[in-house]
Amino acid sequence: MSSQRKVFFVSDRTGITAEVLGHSLLTQFEGIAFKRTTLPFIDSVEKAQAVAQQLADFCLESETRPIVFSTMVDGAIRNALRQRNNALHLDFFEKFIDPLEQELGMMSSHTMGKSHAIDDNDEYKTRIDAVNFTMNSDDGASTKHYDEADVILVGVSRSGKTPTCLYLALHYGIKAANYPLVPEDFDSEKLPNRLQPYRQKLFGLTIHPERLQQIRRERKPDSRYAALDNCKFELAEAESLMRRERIPFLDTTHKSVEELASTIIHSAGLTRRLF
């Protein structure tokens, strides 16, 4: 007996902030299916009035009223959004701007579009450098730039290295390389030669064998590569290598890319270069 509720994320800018916090809150309510719509760039009273009308129409047609998560800097636009409709309005700015104004002893600028602006050249350069670095050293493609790496993720094929590296680069400006551990790396019973000079930068990823099998099957069905016993073998060897070499490692099976990136920064003591 699951019910359904309509949710709107409304913002004078991209709506990303409203989505992130709104999503976190909604995951606390299980058994309800939330149907989500994002309405970005609602940056004038007129546009807000149009959304308010849309909400009013929705209230008429539906048994339950919609829930609106918003981040509107301008009070007049925020008010316009609330006129003529009975939606539940939760604005994330409204609740927190007041105590911050008091605390900081100044008025907020009420300027739209500040949150993500990057006029700053350093910030741009940091991000693009990290992204380029990460793309150029993906999947062990090139190890010659490992000197520059902030971190080198190791793990068997399909253990989650690439998306985690990209997330580290895009969000935190961290130069993240990755090196896939392949069966040949296990023969010598020591750290692959190319990784030896960079021992301090290594961080491992592992995954449950059944999950790995499932992922590899989608890529290469009916292959030795995807067979469960081979997945088990590779993972056992990789984990034993990481334990022996004292490489810290993390199980990716039940973790999102955001959590992996954040945990690695925290555990490996990395310095984020972007905020």
Residues in region 178-237 near a second copy by CB under 8 A: 214-215, 218
Q: What is the DSSP string of 123-139?
A: HHHHHHHHHHHHHHTGG
Q: Is 114 annotated as a binding residue?
A: no
> In 10 A of CB 275, how many CB atoms?
7
Q: Interacting stretch for a second copy, rule CB under 8 A, among 52-60, 91-99, 225-233, 236-244?
A: 91-99
Between CA 131 and CA 128 the distance in angstroms is 5
The response to whether 108 counts as a known ligand-binding position is: no
Size of the site for a second copy (CB under 8 A): 74
Q: Please tell me the total number of residues recorded for the chain in this structure.
A: 275
CB 202, min distance to a second copy, A: 22
Q: Closer CB to a second copy, residue 133 or residue 186?
A: 133
Closer by beta carbon to a second copy, 175 or else 191: 175
**Nearer to a second copy among residue 26 and residue 192 (C-beta):** 26
Q: Is 246 annotated as a binding residue?
A: no
How remote is the C-alpha of 144 from its chain's centroid? 28
The CA-atom distances, in angstroms, between 158 and each of 39, 171, 206, 208, 221 are: 35, 22, 9, 11, 14
**How many Å apart are CA 211 and CA 208, to the nearest integer?**
5
Q: Is 20 exposed, middle or buried (0-12, 13-18, 19+ CB in 10 A)?
A: middle
Minimal distance in Å, beta carbon 28 to a second copy?
A: 4
Residue 65 tokens read as 């009223």
| Smallest distance from a second copy to CB 198, Å | 23
From CA 89, how far away is CA 67, in angstroms rounded? 6
**Does the annotation flag 6 for ligand binding?**
no
The span from the first CA to the last CA of the chain, in angstroms, equals 43
155 is in an annotated binding site: yes
| Contact characters 139-178, a second copy, x per CB under 8 A | -----------------------xx--xx--x--------
Among 6, 78, 127, 216, binds a second copy (CB under 8 A): 127
CB of 192 to a second copy, least distance (A): 23
The answer to the question of residue 50 lying near a second copy (CB under 8 A) is: no
Burial letters 246-264, b for 16+ CB under 10 A, else e: ebebbbbeebebeebbbeb
Please check if 159 is assigned to a binding site: yes
d(CA 144, CA 248): 23
Phi, psi of 112 (to 5 degrees): -80, 150
Q: 9 vs 198, which CB is nearer to a second copy?
A: 9
d(C-alpha 82, C-alpha 49), whole Å: 8
Shortest approach of a second copy to residue 172 CB, angstroms?
11
Q: Is 108 in the site for a second copy (CB under 8 A)?
A: yes
Q: Up-side HSE of residue 236: CA atoms within 13 Å toward CB? A: 7
Is 140 annotated to bind ligand?
no
Q: Does 96 bind a second copy (CB under 8 A)?
A: yes
Closer to a second copy by CB, 44 or 263: give it. Answer: 263
Q: Assess 4 for contact with a second copy (CB under 8 A).
A: no
Q: Give the footprint of a second copy on residues 7-36 (CB under 8 A).
A: 13-17, 19-21, 23-32, 36
Point out the annotated binding site: 155-162
